[in-house]
A and B are shown apart, each in its own frame.
Chain A
Amino acid sequence: EVQVVQSGAEVKKPGESLKLSCKTSGYRFAHYWIGWVRQTPGKGLEWMGIINPEDSNITYSPSFQGQVTISVDRSISTAYLQWSSLKSSDTALYFCARLRTSGWGNWFHPWGQGSLVTVSP
């Protein structure tokens, strides 16, 4: 069974750094891209970026380019989303998910349970 398990909730102050993890199991990690999605009450679901675990090739959404860093550790089948300096506007629920692809589109399945990030002074 394919499983995607994310790290727990975090409470941080503005300016602090943070690294969320996303551990996968039940399939060959290198064979599927992994993506990150942000959810905020006002903006719904927003795709942030995707990474190919095979070669760490990354595509960021223009909205998140330069704001976050996506990476993987193939040895432990885990993907990461990190910030070097958090802002209060980064407060949100973050999901990771395995990316499925076909010739005419990409989609996420399955999803992790989500990691709630709260950034407050």
Chain B
Amino acid sequence: SYELTQPPSVSVSPGQTARIPCSGDGLSKLYAYWYQQRPGQAPVLVIYKDSERPSGIPDRFSGSNSGTTVTLTISGVQAEDEADYYCQSTDSSGVYLTFGGGTKLTVL
């Protein structure tokens, strides 16, 4: 099965930049997607197709792809950004979806 690997946790101070990596062999060929899940809430899409931002998502959220690693970057982190972040992609068939294990972002 296709796996995506994320660090369990990332911590930053307010106003700093948070970078959350996600690695997987297929990411050099397939798009990655990022979801934010605040405590007690449903996941929300924050980045699609590696770096596109859905409407309503602040421009401090950005995404990048450097081969087998994609990165979610949150610039000028705010307290409300404290959440779990999950990357997601599909396997080479484009049918089977997979999620990374999630990264807990703590705003110190």
Q: Which residues of A contact B (CB under 8 A)?
A: 35, 37, 44-47, 50, 59, 61-62, 95, 97, 100, 102, 104-114
Contact = CB atoms under 8 A, between A and B. Distances in A.
Best-surrounded residue of A37, A44, A45, A59 (most CB of chain B within 10 A) = A45
A111 B43 CA distance: 7
B96 A102 contact: no
Interface residues of B, number: 28
A95 B43 CA distance: 9
Contacts of B45: 107-110
In the A-B complex, the 4 residue pairs with the smallest Cβ-Cβ separation, listed nearest first, are: A105-B31, A107-B33, A45-B99, A47-B97
A62 to B, nearest CB: 7
Given A47-B98, A47-B99, A111 B88 contact: no
10 contacts: A44-B102, A47-B98, A95-B42, A102-B49, A104-B94, A107-B45, A108-B88, A109-B45, A110-B45, A112-B42
A62 B1 contact: yes
A100 B52 CA distance: 14
B7 to A, nearest CB: 13
A36 to B, nearest CB: 11
